[in-house]
């Protein structure tokens, strides 16, 4: 059992990951973003320009930005000293009310044309926090998947990021506003901090990242299957097609 770190969760949301008394995760009560982690599924990116419509082989669906999974509630499936598993089950065509309506969206109801079972498992090891994702659905279902964790920063804006063949500063990311900074064709990224542990994310299944920060005290480092289409015309042409069972993972660790 890992004695150097601990994690805590709230209805499937990772609200704390502490290693040797240092907190890695953004406190959602502080400035910036009102969450500490969430998922983007079955789409990534905005949909407003396309009247909140996504085309699939089974017809058109209504989705708001980043999909309807985040509007559903996780069910606790199992828990041990080292791991905890949550699930969300969706029945095709079921109406999900959009929490952004009416203040931030004109789309009141969301739905998807496919059944799916989505599971999220957290596992603490001696070296890292592992986040595993798996979903089961009909073969041929189009999808995009992204993980959206938020990490605490100093607030001074001096942090930067490195990956194989590239780097970017926090200031450059913040300059993009609501447009997330793409880091493409990468499965590992490093957050270089002012003090304390640097943070490394290493992924399996995800092949890209997005970086987004609304405030200098936090940043979202988001593993994604693909960067969203800038035209917002979401359809199976710019999504992956599931084989029926898909698995992904993210390893969050201190870069020692």
Inter-residue contact 173 to 191 (CB < 8 Å): no
For the beta carbon of residue 181, count every other beta carbon within 10 angstroms. 18
Q: How many domains does the chain have?
A: 1
pLDDT over 90 (residue 24)? yes
- SS3 per residue for 62-96: ECCCCCCHHHCCCEEEEECCCEEEEEEEECCCCCE
Q: Extract the tokens encoding 205.
A: 């299944």
Average pLDDT over residues 206-211: 97
What CATH number does the domain containing 181 carry?
Answer: 2.70.98.10
What pLDDT sits at residue 236?
Answer: 73
For residue range 57-110, what is the model confidence (pLDDT) as tens digits? 999 999 999 999 999 999 999 999 999 999 999 999 999 999 999 999 999 999
More confident residue, 234 or 132: 132
pLDDT recorded at residue 138: 97
- 66: left (phi > 0), else alpha (psi -120 to 50), else beta? left
229 has pLDDT over 90 = no
User: Over 80: is that where the pLDDT of 234 sits?
Assistant: no
Question: What's the rounded mean pLDDT across residues 239-254?
Answer: 97
Which pTM value belongs to this model?
A: 0.96
128: containing domain: 5-255
């Amino acid at each position: 059992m890992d004695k150097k770190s601990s994690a805590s969760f709230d209805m499937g949301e990772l609200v704390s990951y502490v290693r040797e008394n240092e907190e890695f995760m953004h406190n959602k009560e502080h400035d910036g973003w009102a969450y500490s982690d969430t998922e983007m599924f079955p789409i990534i990116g905005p949909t407003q320009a396309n009247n909140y419509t996504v085309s699939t082989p089974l017809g058109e669906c209504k989705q708001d930005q980043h999909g309807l999974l985040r509007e559903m509630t996780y069910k606790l499936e199992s828990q041990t000293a080292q791991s905890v598993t949550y699930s969300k089950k969706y029945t095709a065509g079921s109406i999900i009310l959009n929490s952004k309506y009416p203040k931030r969206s004109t789309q009141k109801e969301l739905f998807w044309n496919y059944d799916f079972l989505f599971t999220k498992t957290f596992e603490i090891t001696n070296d890292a926090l592992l986040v595993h994702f798996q979903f089961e659905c009909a073969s041929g279902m189009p999808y995009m998947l992204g993980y959206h964790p938020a990490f605490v920063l100093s607030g001074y804006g001096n942090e930067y990021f490195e990956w194989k063949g590239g780097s970017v500063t926090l200031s450059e990311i913040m300059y993009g506003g609501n447009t997330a900074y793409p880091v493409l064709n990468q499965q590992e990224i490093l957050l270089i901090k002012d003090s304390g542990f640097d943070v490394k994310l290493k992924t399996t299944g995800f092949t890209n990242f997005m970086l987004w920060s609304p405030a200098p005290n936090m940043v979202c480092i988001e593993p994604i299957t693909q960067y969203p289409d800038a035209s917002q015309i979401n359809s199976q042409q710019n999504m992956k097609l599931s084989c029926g069972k898909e698995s992904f993972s993210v390893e969050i660790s201190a870069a020692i």
